[in-house]
Amino acid sequence: MNEVGNVWTRRGFVKALSALSIAGNSILKINAADSSKESWGRDSGNELAERGNQNYEPWRQSAAWQARVLPRFPDVLVRPDQVRSIPDILENASRRGKVISIKSGGHNVSEAFLRDGSVLLDLGELQDIDVDPVSQTAWIQPAAWSYSLVNVLARYGFAFPVSHCASVPMGGYLLGGGIGYNHDNWGTVASDLVLAVEVVLADGQTVVATRDKHSDLFWAARGAGIGFFGVITRFKIKLVSAPPTVIESSYVFPLSALADATTMLQDWVSLSPADTELMMLLAHDPTIDKAARGIETKMCVVRAVTFAEEQAARATLNSLANHPAIKHAVFDNRNVTTSLESMQIASVDPGMGLGYGRYAVDTIWTDKLPQVMNMILNHFSNTNSARTHIVVSPKQNRELSSDSSFSMVGNAFVGVYAVWDDPLQDISTDKWMDGVRKLIHPLSVGQYINEVDAFNNPESVQNCFTLEAWKKLRALKKIYDPNKFFADYPDITG
Ligand SMILES: Cc1cc2nc3c(=O)[nH]c(=O)nc-3n(C[C@H](O)[C@H](O)[C@H](O)COP(=O)(O)OP(=O)(O)OC[C@H]3O[C@@H](n4cnc5c(N)ncnc54)[C@H](O)[C@@H]3O)c2cc1C
């Protein structure tokens, strides 16, 4: 059964956000009339803008999810309306000696899809979700949103470990691994549930890679992230049964009790079954009057979400509630029944003010969480934006698949997300992020390819892979893309 995945399209979503008075990028209907699209393929459905066309800059601006659009300028932007146009577009780009950069949803923090002089293949219209309830699988196109997938699958009683944020599309997310809901139970990362990828290669040929066919391409497509060497047009994914209930408990601590909260989070890891997702958030308390003095305006939330039978879920949450550190919590919200759909909607709740805006990220895997939190505490208190936040996610299941290039994991994931609005704060925020890096990187075991600033810190790319996986990725690049037709990881030689 084929469904158009855009239950909420990106444009519809941005409109909805605007209605909520959240600043966003303006998305314009592209008028291709002033472009030379005839020279770019037979398909009249393609939209196109060359640099200098009046529709170019609005399109480039709207390609990025965030408000800080980096000054990198493709020569041409092309949006195919169907997959069969892609080989033609590649052929045209190749004839003109252009490199291809690819965008599914534009969420990548380093905006790796924006490459000077490239042809940007914008796959934003490819959002179909095609569910086969009998085999419990689905074919999904790369721009299908997390929210759309959750919504469509719910109708069939299925689920998938989508991203924690509604607008994240499946393309870049799965290509880099994907750390989503219930990640310790539904695979180690979401790409563990990818059964096949349909890829258009540099020579225009389309292949379907699986564990048995084109297995090295299949290996690469599950973890390589922004350095992948082909256009992924569809993923075949294995679906999981929808959880019988989703129940969560949250405990809010003042930031001064961060050490206690961290101890509780770590103790919970050994107390929780794998179908419990644990998380800690350091954020500005949205309920506090920002002008008030003498009170803490930053908080730390420790949260457990269970995806299990109701009785077992409640038993888990009740046992976690016995932890002695809970006496330091100033507020709690226990045993609240929720759902994947509700959590997706809450992920864009303007009340917390965490989303949209200008955005910089650094992430690490660490085996030394208490030390990292200790290092970060003062630095976090000095952030220049009340929207900046830090997410900590312990990784209970660290079993990595041997047929996947996703190869780096640690005991805990720490993501530092600077979010601000004023362009005049760009420099000071970048400096603040550099300060974070200096503090936490010596305590890291690796990084996560989907959330590194690969252009400002190109060395971070290799930190996302074991040496063995890295060497294999570089060797495969030479085989599948010897002329470097597809944009590579930044600043890479060889
Ligand atoms: C608000 C927000 C919430 C997030 N939450 C999570 C989360 O919960 N868990 C998590 O794991 N990550 C999360 N992320 C990170 C997210 O996984 C990455 O940003 C990911 O790259 C987004 O995918 P995309 O399709 O938007 O990628 P894009 O930005 O469109 O593309 C990034 C790069 O991936 C490659 N690429 C993309 N599509 C294709 C394709 N079809 N074929 C070949 N190459 C392609 C290209 O090299 C491209 O430059 C979040 C990001 C944001 C902004």
pLDDT of 288? 66
Dig out the tokens for 82 from the structure.
């169907």
For residue range 282-310, list pLDDT tens digits in order.
998 766 665 665 566 889 999 999 999 99
CB of 169 shorter than 6 A to ligand 1: yes
pLDDT at 356: 76
> Are 125 and 79 contacting, i.e. CB atoms less than 8 angstroms apart?
yes
Atom of ligand 1 nearest to the CA of 109: 19
Instruction: Give me the residue spans of the domains in the chain.
Output: 26-63+70-122, 128-241+469-480, 245-462
User: What pLDDT does residue 178 have?
Assistant: 97
> Cα(161) to centroid of ligand 1, in Å?
15
Between CA 193 and CA 235 the distance in angstroms is: 10
pLDDT in tens, 98-149: 999 999 999 999 999 999 999 999 999 999 999 999 999 999 999 999 999 9
Residue nearest to atom 33 of ligand 1 (CA): 226
38 pLDDT more than 80: no
pLDDT over 70 at 354, yes or no: no
Q: What is the pLDDT of residues 145-198, one digit of tens each?
A: 999 999 999 999 999 999 999 999 999 999 999 999 999 999 899 999 999 999
pLDDT at 46 over 50: yes
Q: How far is the CA of 119 from the centre of ligand 1 (A)?
A: 19
For ligand 1, whether the C-beta of 357 sits within 6 Å is: no
Q: What is the pLDDT of residue 353?
A: 61
Q: Is the CB of 164 under 6 A from ligand 1?
A: yes
What is the spatial distance between Cα 136 and Cα 138, in angstroms, rounded to a whole number? 7
Q: Which atom of ligand 1 is nearest to the CA of 172?
A: 23
Distance 448 CA to ligand 1 centre (A): 12
Ligand 1 atom with least separation from CA of 355? 1
Which CATH class name applies to 128-241+469-480? alpha beta
Ligand 1 pocket test: pick from 122, 173, 231 the residue with the most ligand atoms within 8 Å of its Cβ.
173
Ligand 1 pocket, 229 CB below 6 A?
no
Q: What is the mean pLDDT of the chain?
A: 89
Query: With a 6 A CB cut-off, is 451 part of the ligand 1 pocket?
Result: yes
CA of 355 to the centre of ligand 1 (A): 15
Distance 330 CA to ligand 1 centre (A): 36
Q: pLDDT band at 386, cuts 50/70/90?
A: confident
The protein residue whose alpha carbon is closest to atom 53 in ligand 1 is 107
Assess contact for 460 and 450: CB atoms under 8 A. Answer: no
Of 162-171, 295-304, 437-446, 463-472, least confident by mean pLDDT is 295-304
Residue tagged 């074919």 (tokens): 139
* pLDDT score for 45: 78
Least-confidence region, from 1-10, 223-232, 316-325: 1-10
- Identical fold, 26-63+70-122 and 128-241+469-480: yes
CA distance 349 to 366: 29
Q: Ligand 1, closest atom to CA 178?
A: 11
Cβ of 65 less than 6 Å from ligand 1? yes
Rounded to 5 degrees, what are φ and ψ at 49? Answer: -145, 130
Q: Under CATH, what is the fold of the domain 26-63+70-122?
A: 3.30.465
User: Residue 381 — pLDDT band, cuts 50, 70, 90?
Assistant: confident
**Partners of 251 in the β-ladder:** 302, 332
Establish whether residue 393 lines the binding site of ligand 1, counting it when its CB lies within 6 angstroms of any ligand atom: no
User: Does the pLDDT at position 231 exceed 60?
Assistant: yes
User: Are the C-beta atoms of residues 319 and 334 closer than 8 Å to each other?
Assistant: no
pTM (2 decimals)? 0.91
Measured at the CA of 444, the angle between CA 436 and CA 446, to 5 degrees, comes to 115
Residue 419 or 5, more confident: 419
Question: What separation in Å is there between the alpha carbon of 254 and the centre of ligand 1?
Answer: 33
Least confident residue range of 29-38, 229-238, 275-284, 356-365 = 29-38
Confidence check: pLDDT of 24 > 50:
no
Selection from 327, 369, 104, 334 nearest residue 235 by Cα: 104
- Amino acid at the residue 141: Q
User: Which top CATH class is 245-462?
Assistant: alpha beta
Residue nearest to atom 13 of ligand 1 (CA): 163
d(CA 171, CA 141): 7
Which pLDDT does position 190 carry in this prediction? Answer: 97
Q: Strand pairing partners for 25?
A: none
Query: Which pLDDT belongs to residue 30?
Result: 32
Say how far apart CA 198 and CA 208 lie, in whole Å.
Answer: 4
Out of 83, 104, 363, give the residue to mutate to test ligand 1, the one with the largest number of ligand atoms within 8 Å of its CB.
Answer: 104
Give the three-state DSSP class for 84: helix
Regarding the beta carbon of 105 and ligand 1, being less than 6 Å apart is answered yes
CB of 107 sitting under 6 A from ligand 1: yes
Could you tell me if the CB of 173 is within 6 A of ligand 1? Answer: yes
* % of the chain at pLDDT higher than 90: 80
What does the pLDDT read at residue 18? 33
> What is the pLDDT, as a whole number, of residue 238?
98
CB of 123 shorter than 6 A to ligand 1 = yes
Query: What's the mean pLDDT in 360-367?
Result: 96
Cα of 170 to ligand 1 centre, how many Å? Answer: 7
User: Where do the H-state alpha helices sit in 322-466?
Assistant: 340-346, 369-381, 426-440, 459-462
